[in-house]
């Protein structure tokens, strides 16, 4: 269905109304609306898996966000006696599901770092002793501390998890997030749950499964090495300089 929408002309109609008004070339389909003369892809061929891409598309590698923030002491001093789960749902997670998952962590044999404070701040929720709830964190520094990432599937969040070498449990809230997670599933190091049907129990079961899945751990480490060969910001800068400098 998503591919069909991209190829239809109807979604481009509002843009073509303006194009006609100002004497500009009309878009033939929705793909042309989304793409420019050049489109830089913030990922790598091994992740996407396309046999070939259109000439105007160019891989540059990941562009992970680097939040300039200090890591709270309670996280830097987290005990290393048990596995660590990194639980981040960005801005699109479902508050009730997030709360249920946090409650489900109680008594589990792992520690949890959960930068989900904004989602549950208005809830009367008793945080389990093995869970640290915070605001946004510098994921590129904290995610590598974890053994498993539980995330919503945004491009930046997924790439940070992959660069951290952590298998992924994902609940995609939007088609783009679902596609990102599916790419990781195909690589063998992720479990994607359906946002409409996923329960806290499903998430916890997926975490337990991946914590003991050596094949998934090996697969993500291999992909981590592939990603590290790409310098997204430098490649983007080089491309812009070569074409517009």
Q: What is the mean pLDDT of each run of 10 residues along the chain (245 residues)?
A: 69 92 91 88 90 90 91 94 94 86 95 95 92 94 97 93 97 90 96 92 96 97 97 96 91
242 within domain boundaries: no
Both 53 and 111 in one domain: the answer is no
Both 37 and 100 in one domain: the answer is no
Both 98 and 124 in one domain: the answer is yes
Both 209 and 90 in one domain: the answer is yes
Give pLDDT, residue 190: 98
Both 219 and 165 in one domain: the answer is yes
Q: What is the DSSP string of 82-110?
A: S-EEEEE-TTT--HHHHHHHHHHTTT-SS
How many domains are there within the chain? 2
Stated pTM of the model: 0.89
51-72 in b/e form (b: 16+ CB < 10 A) is eeeeeeeebbbbbbeeeeeeeb
Both 35 and 119 in one domain: the answer is no
Distance of CA 182 to the CA centre of its chain: 11
pLDDT digits (tens, 9 = 90+) for 181-213: 999 999 999 999 998 899 999 999 999 999 999
Both 116 and 195 in one domain: the answer is yes
Both 81 and 139 in one domain: the answer is yes
CATH code at position 88: 3.40.50.2000
245 within domain boundaries: no
40 within domain boundaries: yes
Both 93 and 151 in one domain: the answer is yes
Could you tell me if 177 and 153 are in contact, meaning their C-beta atoms sit under 8 angstroms apart?
Answer: yes
Tell me what percent of the chain is helix, strand and coil, each rounded to the nearest 5: 45, 10, 40
89 within domain boundaries: yes
| Beta carbons within 8 Å of 27's beta carbon, 6+ residues apart | 9, 12, 15, 16, 19, 33
Could you tell me if 158 and 171 are in contact, meaning their C-beta atoms sit under 8 angstroms apart?
Answer: no
Q: Which domain holds residue 33?
A: 2-59
176 within domain boundaries: yes
Give pLDDT, residue 1: 42
234 within domain boundaries: no
């Amino acid at each position: 269905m998503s591919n069909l929408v991209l190829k239809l002309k109807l979604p481009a109609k509002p843009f073509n109304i303006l194009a006609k008004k100002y004497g500009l070339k009309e878009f033939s389909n929705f793909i042309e609306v989304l793409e420019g003369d050049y489109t830089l892809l913030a990922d790598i061929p091994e992740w996407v898996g396309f046999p070939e891409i259109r000439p105007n598309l160019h891989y540059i590698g990941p562009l992970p966000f680097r939040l300039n923030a200090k890591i709270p002491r309670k996280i830097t001093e987290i005990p290393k006696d048990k596995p660590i789960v990194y639980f981040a749902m960005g801005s699109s997670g479902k508050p009730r599901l997030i709360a249920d998952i946090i409650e489900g962590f109680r008594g589990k044999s792992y520690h949890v770092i959960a930068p989900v404070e904004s989602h549950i701040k208005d809830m009367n929720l008793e945080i389990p002793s093995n869970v640290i709830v915070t605001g946004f964190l510098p994921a590129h520094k904290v995610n590598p501390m974890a053994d498993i990432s539980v995330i919503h599937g945004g491009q930046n969040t997924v790439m940070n998890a992959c660069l951290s070498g952590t298998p992924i449990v994902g609940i995609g809230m939007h088609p783009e997030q679902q596609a990102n997670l599916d790419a990781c599933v195909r690589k063998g190091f992720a479990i994607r749950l359906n946002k409409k049907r996923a329960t806290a129990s499903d998430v916890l079961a997926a975490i337990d499964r991946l914590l003991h899945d050596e094949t998934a751990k090996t697969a993500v480490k291999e992909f981590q090495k592939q990603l590290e060969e790409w310098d997204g910001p430098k490649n983007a800068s080089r491309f812009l300089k070569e074409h517009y400098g």
